[in-house]
Amino acid sequence: METLPQQPGILTIQLALIAVLLPLLAAVINAFLRGKTNKAAGWVSNLAILGTCLLSVTVFFKVWNHTEVHQQWLWFTVGDMEFHAGVLLNNLSALMLSLVSLIALPVHLYSTAYMKGDGHYKRYFTYLSFFCFSMLALVVTDNLFLFYAFWELVGFSSYLLIGFWYTKPKAILANKKAFIINRIGDIGLLTAIILLYAQYHTSDIAQLFSNGTTGAALAAQMSGNAQWIACIGLFLAVAAKSAQFPLHTWLPDAMEGPTSISALIHAATMVAAGVFLLGRFYPVFTPTELTVLAVIGCFTAFMAATIALTQNDLKRILAYSTISQLGYMVMAMGIGAYASSFFHLVTHAFFKCLLFLVAGIVIHEVQHIKDEYQLDIDPQNILYMGGLRKKMPLTFIACIIAGFALIGLPFTSGYLSKDSILIQSFEWAEGKGLLHELIPVGALVTSWLTAFYVTRLIVKVFFGEFRLMEFDPNIKLHISDGNWQYRVPIMLLAICCLFPLFSYNPVLYEKAWLFNGFPLITGLDRVNIYHTIIPVLVNIAAILVMYWAWAVYMKKKALPLPETGFLFRFSYHQWYIDELYERMIVKPVMALSGLARWTDRNIIDGFIHLLANIGIAGAKIAEWLDRNIIDGLLHWLASLVLAIGNFARRFQNGRVQYYLFSMIAVILAIFIFKTLF
Amino acid sequence: MINLSDFLVVSAGLFCTGLFIILTKRNAIQVLIGIELMLNAANLNLVAFGRYDKIANGGQMFTLFSITLAAATTAVALAIILNVYKRYKTIDPDKIDSLKD
C-alpha cells in the first residue's frame, strides 16, 4: 500500500516506544547499581523521565488531532489465531502519555530531595521507574492481554511502593489491603477481556473500539448475559483501580507510602487508570449501565467529600478528596460527558499532584521539628500545624492555587473541567424525572463540601499560630520551602493548574482545546441557561462556604456539627465502611480460613500423621528385632569368644614357675593317662 | 654292696628336691641352686651308668663337660639376675611378669 504516508507514523511509533522503554531501562540500570543509597540512581531515573517527557510531548504534537497511528507486530500464534501486539496512538493515548510523563517529571525531581536521607534511595528509584514504564505501556498498548498485563504491573509497582517502608506494620497492612482489593478488580477485568475475546475473536483494541463502532451497536452484538457480566467485570476493575464506592477503602490506607509516591501514583496517574479504562472500553456499556455508573460515581464523590470534612491526617484528607474527584470523573463518563471526564482527569492530575507535593514538604518540615525536639506527635496531623504561611510562602501560594483549582474557582484549570461536568450533568438529567435530578444535585453539593474541607485544610495548616508552640514554647521554627528540588516542581505544577494551559478564556470551558480531540462531544453549544447560571451559582455558593469555613476555623466560631454528634462520628469513622468490611467480609473469610486450617491440621494432617505413626511403629519393631535378635546373636558369639579368650589368657600370666608347674602337671597327667589306659 | 639302683634313687631324690626348689622358691638365686641340684642329679646318673663303659669312660667324660657347662650357664644366669635386679629392683620370679600378654 502507500508506504510514503506511513513514514512519519512509523517515526512516531518509534518515538513512543522509546519513551515507554526509557524508564524500564532506568529501572534495570538502577537494579544493578551498587550501594543502597547510590545517588546515581536518582539521576538515572530523572534523565530517563526527562527523555520520556520530551519524546511524549513530541508524540503528542504529532498525533493530536491527526490521524491515529497504529503499528502491530505478530506476537504469537495459537493454532490459526494470530495475536498481534503493538502501539496504538490516538488522541486519548497521546494525551495520557504526555500527561503521565509530565506529572512524573516534577515528582522525580522532587523525590531526589524528599528521599535524600532514606536508606533505600536506590530501591525507591528502581520502583519508581518501573512504575512509570508500566503506566506508560498501559496507556499505549493496543492488545487486550498486554493491557491486562500492564494493568497488573501497575498494581504490582503500586504495591511495592505503598509498602516501601516495609518495617512499618501499618505500611505492610496497607499494601496488602491495596493488593487484595485490586485483585478483585483484576478478576473483573480478566473476565471482561475473556468475554470480549470470545465474542469478537480479536484482542486488538483498535479493531474493537476505534472503527466508528457506536456503543449501542457494539453492546447489541453481545448476547445479553455476556454483555452485562463483562460490564460488571469492567466496573469492578474501574472501582478497584480508581477507588470507587465498594472498593475504595484501600486508597486512604495507601498513604502509608512516601508522599511523592502518593502524589504520582495514588493521586495523579495510576488511580486515573480506571477512568482511562472506562474511556477505552466506553462502547461496551449500554445506556442503563452508564446510568448505574453515574449513580455510583456521584455517590462516591459525595461520600468521600463528607469523610474528608472531618479527617485530621493531612494525606488522608487529600486521599478522600482524590476519591471524590475520581467519583466526578466516573460520573461524567456515566452521563456521557466523555471529553469532560478526561478534561477533569488531566486538570485533576496536575492540581492533586501539586497538593500532595505541598503536603510532602509540610510533613517533611514538621517531621524535622519532631525529630529535633523529640516530640511525640504525628507529623501528618493538621491539628499540630498552623501559621506555616509566613515560613513557607512559596508552598503556601502553591497550595492556595491547587486548593482553588480543586474547589473550582475561576481562573484555575479545575474551574473549567468541573463546571463542564456539572453543566452536562444538569443537561443530562433534564426531563428524566426527579430521581435523575439527584445526580447533578449530589455533584453540586459535593463541590460545596469540597470548598469547605479545602478551606479547613488550608486554614489549619497555613493560618493562625503554630500549634506545636503550645506543647513547647521553646520551639524555634527554622523551616522553609526547601531547596530548588522542592521549589521547581511545585512552581511548574502550579503554573499547570492555571487556566492558560487549557483555554484562552478563563471562564468559558467550551473554549478549551482539549474538547476538540474527542469524538463524543456533548454540551459544547451554549444552548440553554445552564451554561451561565451554574458556574455563577456554584462559585458564589462556594465562596460563601469558604467564608463560612474560614469563620469556623479561623475565628473559632462554633463548629457546624458537634464533635460528639452521630453525623460527625459517622464522617470521622469514614462511614464505618472499613468496620463493615471487617465484620461482613474479613471476619467470615478469616473464620473460613480458620476452619480450613483446622481441617487441614486435624483431618488431613491427622490422616498423614496416622500413616506416619504406623510407619514409625513398624520401624520401631524392626529396630527391636535388629537390636535384640540379629545383633544379639552376634553379641552373644562375640562374648563367647571373649570368655574363652579371658579363660585362656589366665595361663599367660608371665610367672615362670607357674609355667613350669603346668608343664610338669601336664606331663604327669599324660604319663598317668598312658599308664592307666 | 651299693647297686646301681641306689644311685638312681639318690639321683631321683636330688632331682625332685631340685624341682621342688625351682617351683616354690621366691628368690631367683635359690631357683638357680635348684637347677644346679637337678643338673647334679643328672650328672650322678651319668657317673653311675659310666661303670658300663670302662674302656672309654664316656659317662665320666660327659659329666666333666656337663659340670663345666653348668658353671658357664650359672655365670650367665647370675649376670642375668644382676641385670634383672637393676631393672626391677627385685629377683622374685613371680614379680617379673612384664612379658605376659
Q: Is the pLDDT of residue A40 over 60?
A: yes
SS (H, E, C) B54-78: CCCCHHHHHHHHHHHHHHHHHHHHH
How many Å apart are CA A545 and CA A551, to the nearest integer? Answer: 10
pLDDT of residue A6: 47
Please tell me the least confidently modeled range out of A398-402, A485-489, A507-511: A507-511
Mean pLDDT is highest, among A328-337, A545-554, A626-635, A652-661, for: A626-635
Locate A241 and state its grid cell.
483501580
pLDDT score for A522:
57
- Its pTM stands at 0.76
Query: Which residues of B lie closer than 8 Å to A, measured between beta carbons?
Result: 19, 22-24, 31, 93-94, 96-101
Q: How close does chain A come to B56, measured CA to CA in Å?
A: 35
- Per-residue pLDDT band for A580 (boundaries 50, 70, 90) equals confident
**How would you classify residue A503: left for phi > 0, otherwise alpha for psi between -120 and 50, otherwise beta?**
beta
Asked if A652's CB is within 8 angstroms of B97's CB, the reply is: no
Distance (Å, whole) CA A327 – CA A329: 5
Angle of helix A287-308 versus helix A224-241 axis, rounded to 10: 20
Choose the closest CB to B23 out of A649, A654, A660: A660
Q: Which residues contact A328 (CB under 8 A, 6 or more apart)?
A: A297, A301, A344, A418, A421, A443, A446
Which residues on B lie below 8 Å from A655 (Cβ)? 93-94, 97
Contact call for A654 and B100, based on CB within 8 A:
yes
Contacts A657 to B, Cβ<8 Å = 22-24, 31, 93-94
List of chain A residues whose C-beta atoms are within 8 Å of the C-beta of residue B96:
654, 656
Percent of chain A past pLDDT 70, that is, above it, reads 92
Which of B21, B26, B100 should be substituted to probe chain A, the one whose Cβ sees the most A Cβ atoms within 10 Å? B100
Task: Give the C-alpha separation, A171 to A258, whole Å.
Answer: 10
Q: Cell numbers of B9, please? A: 634313687
ipTM of the complex: 0.84
Q: Which residue among B22, B97, B101 sits closest to A660, beta carbon to beta carbon? A: B22
Per-residue confidence (pLDDT) for residue A217, from 0 to 100: 53
In this prediction, residue A467 has a pLDDT band, given cuts at 50, 70 and 90, of confident
* Predicted confidence band of residue A4 (pLDDT cuts 50, 70, 90): very low
Interchain CB distance below 8 Å, A654 and B99: yes
Which stretch, A37-41, A202-206, A474-478, has highest mean pLDDT?
A37-41
pLDDT category, B78, cuts 50, 70, 90?
very high
Q: Is the pLDDT of residue A670 over 90?
A: yes
The pLDDT of A316-342, averaged and rounded, is 89
CA dist A422 and A537 (Å) reads 11
Which residues on neighbouring strands pair with residue A89, listed in sequence order?
A69
* Lowest-confidence pick of A28-32, A67-71, A186-190, A661-665: A67-71
Residue A663 Cα, gap to closest chain B Cα (Å): 11
Of B93, B98, B100, the CB nearest to A657: B93
Q: What is the pLDDT of residues A265-300, one digit of tens each?
A: 888 788 888 888 888 888 888 888 888 889 999 999
Q: b or e along A148-186 (b: 16 or more beta carbons within 10 Å of the residue's beta carbon)?
A: bebbbbbbbbbbbbbbbeeeeeebeebbebbbebbeebb
Q: Give the closest of A652, A654, A661 to B23, CB-based.
A: A661
Which tens digits make up the pLDDT trace of A423-435? 888 888 877 777 8
β-bridge mates for residue A74, sequence order: A84
Average pLDDT, chain A: 84
Q: Residue A660: list chain B partners with CB under 8 A.
A: 22-23
Distance separating the N- and C-terminal Cα atoms of chain B:
55
Instruction: Please give the pLDDT value at position B101.
Output: 57
Query: DSSP label at B92?
Result: -
User: How close is the nearest chain A Cα to the Cα of B53, in Å?
Assistant: 31
pLDDT at A521: 57
Choosing among B25, B94, B96, B98, which should be mutated to test the A contact, i.e. which has the most A CBs within 10 A?
B94
Residue whose C-alpha cell is 494432617: A605
**Does residue A238 surpass a pLDDT of 70?**
yes
Q: Is the CB of A649 less than 8 angstroms away from the CB of B101?
A: yes
- Give the pLDDT score at A525: 60
Q: Which of B20, B23, B84, B98 is the best residue to mutate to test the A interface, defined by the most A CB atoms within 10 Å of its own CB?
A: B23
In this predicted structure, what is the pLDDT of residue A527? 61
State the count of interchain CB pairs (< 8 A) between A and B: 27
Looking at residue A5, what is its pLDDT?
A: 43
Chain B residues in contact with A658 (beta carbon < 8 A): 94
DSSP state at residue A557:
-
Q: B99, A657: Cβ pair inside 8 Å?
A: no
Give the DSSP letter of residue A71: E
pLDDT band per the 50, 70, 90 thresholds, residue A422: confident
B98 and A652 in contact by Cβ < 8 A?
no
User: For position A594, what pLDDT does the model report?
Assistant: 93
Residue A649 to residue B97, Cβ atoms within 8 A? no
pLDDT per residue as tens digits for the range A108-158: 999 988 888 888 888 889 999 999 999 999 988 888 888 999 999 999 999
Contacts of A653 in chain B (CB under 8 A): 97, 100
**Which triple of cell numbers denotes residue A391?**
515560613
> Residue B26's closest chain A neighbor by CA?
A657
The model's confidence at residue A215, banded by pLDDT at 50, 70 and 90, is: very low
Mutation pick from A649, A650, A653, A655 vs chain B, by most beta carbons of B within 10 Å, is: A655
The whole-number pLDDT of residue A560 equals 66
